[in-house]
Copies of this chain bind each other. A is one copy, B any other.
Amino acid sequence: MSSAAKKLNEEEICLLGTSCAEVSFNAEDIIVKQNALSTNIAYIKEGLVKIHINGPIRERIMKIVKAPAYICLPSNFGDKINHFSATALEPTTVCFIDLNLFKKFIYDNGDFAYQIILDMSRGELQNFKNCLNNAQKQNIGRIADAILFFATEIYNSNTFNLPVTRQELADLTGITRESASRILTDFHEDKIVEIKGRQIVILNEGLLRQISEKG
């Protein structure tokens, strides 16, 4: 997603090398935790991450982010507290960049700043789309959406392993685990998606898209 890193010059990359801590995470490891103090930007170098918030009632997954991408911007620039958690869904490599260095890049390097703004713009549109889907589609449409999202945005294939549990799929789509489960079996029985545990094969993409559109 983010190509901002490419915009850094040699000198800046050198600076990065010295003041950036690269850390590896396994699936389900917490990368950043909501409400914790933070003075870092996290650059997702490799892997897949969920951004989630502890809501008033239950957990809510705001989005799934694929490397490469910067996260924690909204946290750090508002106050110094993380307003959400980030958890690895697959083995993930993260570079923690000092906030001041990041700020320096923005000030000194217009290309970099512009790319960051581009990324954030795309992110906002994505958020709008998510909100819309969640607000106006019924459960079956949301699950169809989520499956298509993983197929097209994350894995570029109609065959893939779900990187999330049923509960997480529910948290992502804003429905209950039970409803998510029921809809998956429906899809399976109707031969729209072959489902075996976390293994997914989209059999009838056309129909799945129709379900997603119609809500």
- Nearest CB of B to A98, in Å: 15
- Nearest CB of B to A159, in Å: 28
Q: Please state if B62 and A128 are interface contacts (CB–CB under 8 Å).
A: yes
Q: Which single residue of chain B is at the shortest CB-CB distance from A57?
A: B136
Residue from B103, B120, B130 within 8 A of A131 (CB atoms)? B130
Q: Please state if A128 and B83 are interface contacts (CB–CB under 8 Å).
A: yes
- Copies assembled: 2
Bound complex: CA A154 to CA B145 (Å): 34
- Nearest CB of B to A27, in Å: 23
- Nearest CB of B to A158, in Å: 23
Q: Tell me if A56 is interfacial: C-beta within 8 Å of chain B.
A: yes
Mask: chain A, 92-132; 1 = CB below 8 Å from B; 0 = not = 00000000000100111011011011101111110110111
Q: Which single residue of chain B is at the shortest CB-CB distance from A51?
A: B128
Q: Tell me if A6 is interfacial: C-beta within 8 Å of chain B.
A: no
Q: Please state if A131 and B121 are interface contacts (CB–CB under 8 Å).
A: no
Instruction: Count A-side interface residues using an 8 Å CB cutoff.
Output: 45
Q: Which single residue of chain B is at the shortest CB-CB distance from A214?
A: B56
Q: Which of A14-22, A72-80, A160-168 contacts B (4 or more CB under 8 A)?
A: A72-80
Q: Tell me if A47 is interfacial: C-beta within 8 Å of chain B.
A: no
Residue from B75, B118, B131 within 8 A of A127 (CB atoms)? B131
- With A106-B110, A134-B134, A135-B174 known as contacts, the answer to whether A121 contacts B57 (CB < 8 A) is no
- Nearest CB of B to A69, in Å: 13
- With A57-B215, A74-B122, A215-B57 known as contacts, the answer to whether A117 contacts B114 (CB < 8 A) is no
Interface centre among A55, A123, A213 (most CB of B within 10 A): A55
- With A106-B113, A121-B73 known as contacts, the answer to whether A131 contacts B213 (CB < 8 A) is no
11 new A-B contacts, CB < 8 A, other than A57-B137, A74-B124, are A53-B132, A56-B213, A62-B128, A74-B121, A77-B118, A78-B122, A116-B117, A124-B124, A127-B127, A135-B174, A136-B174
